[in-house]
Amino acid sequence: MSKHKSGGRAAESPSPPEMVCTLVVDAVIDEIEVEICCQRTDGVDRVFSTSRGMDWLRTERPSVSTLTYSIDTLLFSMIAMCLRYVGYPVDVRAGLLSKKHVEAIINSVCFELEEIKKENEVWREAEIVIKAAHLGLALEASNFRRGTWVACCPGTNHTLDLQPKRNLFYCGYCRVGGGIDKLDEFVAQRRRSKAAAFIGGRILH
């Protein structure tokens, strides 16, 4: 069948979603299957997960070339997000893309993340990084964002971002951030309230 090119109303017949691949991800507690589909609609190419509770795992870009071309680029971001928030893919089931193809993308994502981490290691001597280490926060160079170190927000399991270039920190959950002195104050305050809660608990029992 020849494609009808009207030039103006291509939006009326979107392509149906197609299965790109399924990733079997080691999510610490259990292995989970992350089904990934793609679809071209209204001049936008989308790659998204259809697995339960995974609707946040999606990315898109304008349709500039073929859908297959977009999938390669979009799958790269999807796998990076999957590694960051879900876990490491330990197996792949083929769909539109072969197992080998998807594994090659996973490898290039891992390589890129290693490179980012190496670049960030350069900031090991930055004041805010040294301060966080002195305060006893478990910290490391981020392998997801350039110019960022990550620590554990005290008393929680949040990620505290450190920006060594500007000597700033920020926790997106607590919505607390600032410079070196503020970090000092924030950690001390957290430890005081933790100690108070502990003493309170002891008295109650």
| Location of structure tokens 């928030």 | 85
Of 19-27, 35-43, 98-106, 157-165: span binding Zn ion (CB under 5 A): 157-165
Closest contact distance (angstroms) between CB of 123 and Zn ion is: 21
Smallest separation (angstroms) from Zn ion to the CB of 189: 12
Asked if 174 touches Zn ion (CB under 5 A), the answer is: yes
Does 173 bind Zn ion (CB under 5 A)? Our answer is: yes
Smallest separation (angstroms) from Zn ion to the CB of 176 = 7
Task: Please choose, out of 22-30, 35-43, 71-79, 168-176, the segment that lies near Zn ion by the rule CB under 5 A.
Answer: 168-176
Choose the binding region for Zn ion from 14-22, 40-48, 121-129, 148-156 (rule: CB under 5 A). Answer: 148-156
Q: Does 158 bind Zn ion (CB under 5 A)?
A: yes
Name the β-bridge partners of 36: 21, 49
Question: Whose Cβ is closer to Zn ion: residue 95's or residue 179's?
Answer: 179
183 scored as a contact of Zn ion (CB under 5 A): no
Answer for which of 21, 57, 132, 153 binds Zn ion (CB under 5 A) is 153
The encoded tokens of residue 129 equal: 């990084």
Binding residues for Zn ion (CB under 5 A):
153, 156, 158, 171, 173-174
